[in-house]
Structure 1
Amino acid sequence: MFLTPFLLAVAAFVLWAEATPASITPALGKRSISQDLLDDFVRYTKYSSGAYQVLCPSPLGNTLVVQFSDLVTNTQGFIARDDSRKEIVVSYRGSLQAQDFLTDVDIILVPFSSQGVSSVQTNGVTAHQGFLTAFNSVASVIISTVTEQLKQFPSYSLVSTGHSLGASLASLGGVSLAANFPGHPLKVFTFGQPRTGNPAYATMAENLIGVNNIFRAVHTFDGVPTIIPEAIGYRHHATEFWNFVDPPLTSTVKQCSGEEDPTCSDSIPSTGINVAHVTYFGQAIALDPTVCI
């Protein structure tokens, strides 16, 4: 969602001083996560944060394959290759400028259509018009670049990741990668993702990507994941991982059930863009250029 660099800086400063609301209570004994998964959340948060940088020449010290940008939609991000982990990572930038705000507020649900996703798979599927238009503006460069990378490194797995607006693009991107590279190992990590489509979109994403390959993280009382209401036809896809209280530990991140688990972040009324939205897994989003070297 829409954030100026100034607001990002202010929110990051305020976060350390603001106590977690009393309404959020630990989900004791309920599906805590492994250390390996926590480490993954930290890693892909850094990739998502790096996408906000004007230049990211070496994401997390890895090879930058391409940095993509569409001037009309202002959709930006990069594709990186981690040769030690044998991964190709597509990271999408979240909202930072005025054009991104126009993308965010274009909330009409429109029929889903994207390169390489068949009409059979998209029957009854609708998605946020702004998010879908933004993704489709860069879809061809992403698909062609990943195709070339997999020709050279066929054993590498794929990761789609992003924060806020970038998280919804990563969700759409995950669907695209799954459809264009069927059967190829793929994971999707999103942070502060707004609802992105209708219930049929949620089902399509789960079927194509696999519920066990989707990691939709929500930080405490972040209001962005629930800012677009279900009442107008939207629904989250699984699987949510709710970091219900700080600091982020294996015991303070709960693996939720289904698409809209009433015991997870959906239990907290949305307060929109707030300080919880701009820090994930210890990373001040957009404010750490060291993730790009």
Structure 2
Amino acid sequence: MKLVLTILILISLASCQTFTYNQNLAQKLAAFSIASYCTSSYLQNWNCGFACQQNQQGLKNLQIISSTTSYSTALVGYSPDLNGIIIAFRGTTSAHIQTFFTDLKILKSSYPLCQNCYVHSGFYSSYQEIQQQIMSTFTSLRQQYPQANVYVTGHSLGAALGALSLPDIYKLNNNQKINAFYNFGSPRVGNQDYATWFSAQNFAIEYARVTNGADPVPEMPAEWVNYRHYNHEVYYPNVSQNGLQYVQCYYSEDSNCEDRIFFATNINDHLGYYGWNWTSATAGCE
């Protein structure tokens, strides 16, 4: 009887695990994710419409880091609004979203930071193409703003690149947790061993994968080819009907969150986080 009670208590405690989610901060970072889709001519003057208006003081010492051989792009700069160093990874543009789906292969590469870990080959190679630039730019900004917070964000492909950057940013941050990592519409990045390892590292004080409605990208690559999400999901079931009501799921692949959708196919949900029209928000600044 005591054994049964103990098991029930442990199950109850596990199901009650929570994590911090700051919606206002997440929206600020989402706006930086939108801004990452804009071209340098708009960003240097911080004149990128809706996205720039959400963080009106812009990014100081802004560096736009891009790969010449892939879609990999990131904004790195200091935000006076948040007193923080921002690293915002760009996702796949709306013009190329269908290509992104078509090219989303299942091939994995060995990941050197943990045993038996494998990550998506395309995501990993895309990050490696800008890895050194990200690290050197962050190091320079850290020296200029030693007391600043540190935030990493990204949407779609950018969400995956953000996750892959965290071990580097954490290390360059004197092995101190960054303040927040919120991403939007992230695909699965690696296998179960990678997801378990990532979830255990606590690279950030606050972190979550934000998902929306029937966004198809978080369901890719599929679980049946041994891809898994890492923990902490914030799910918005239907912003058009329920406003910004959300569900928090501590563990990944939880049927209370986005995994409840049997067949997620709504691209508009991928481009509609917080009820914003991400396509129109970037249409005038690309």
Q: Normalising by the residue count of structure 2, what TM-score does the alignment of the two structures yield?
A: 0.79
SS at match of 1:53: coil
SS at match of 1:214: strand
**Corresponding position of 2:235:** 242
Distance 1:179 1:108, change over 3 A: farther
Q: How does 1:8-157 map to 2 (within 5 A)?
A: 37-55=22-40, 56-57=43-44, 58=46, 60=55, 61-64=57-60, 65-96=62-93, 101=100, 104-113=103-112, 121-157=113-149
Distance 1:41 1:85, change over 3 A: closer
Amino acid at match of 2:160: S
Separation of aligned partners in 2, 1:212 and 1:218: 20
The partner residue of 2:226 within 229, 233, 237 is: 233
**Corresponding position of 1:197:** 190
**1:208 positional shift:** 2.8
SS at match of 2:218: helix
Unaligned runs of 5+ in 1: 1-29, 114-120
Contact 2:214 2:265 in 1 (8 A): no
Contact 2:177 2:204 in 1 (8 A): no
The partner residue of 2:270 within 277, 284, 287 is: 277
**1:78 positional shift:** 0.7
Contact 1:227 1:270 in 2 (8 A): no
Contact 1:212 1:239 in 2 (8 A): no
Distance 1:89 1:290, change over 3 A: farther
**1:31 positional shift:** 9.9
Distance 1:260 1:88, change over 3 A: same
> Number of aligned pairs?
254
SS at match of 2:152: strand
Higher helix residue share: 2
Q: Normalising by the residue count of structure 1, what TM-score does the alignment of the two structures yield?
A: 0.77
Amino acid at match of 1:230: E
* Cα distance per residue 1:254-291 (max 9 Å; x no partner): 11121211211111023345211101113222432599
4+ aligned runs moved over 4 Å, structure 1: 30-34, 97-100, 247-250, 289-292
Query: Is 1:165–2:169 an aligned residue pair?
Result: no
Amino acid at match of 2:143: K
Separation of aligned partners in 1, 2:272 and 2:226: 28
Q: Which moved more, 1:96-105 or 1:259-268?
A: 96-105
**1:81 positional shift:** 0.9
**Corresponding position of 1:213:** 206
Percent identity (aligned): 22
Separation of aligned partners in 2, 1:159 and 1:153: 13
Contact 1:196 1:236 in 2 (8 A): yes
Contact 1:223 1:269 in 2 (8 A): no
Separation of aligned partners in 1, 2:280 and 2:165: 24
Amino acid at match of 1:131: F
Amino acid at match of 1:68: I
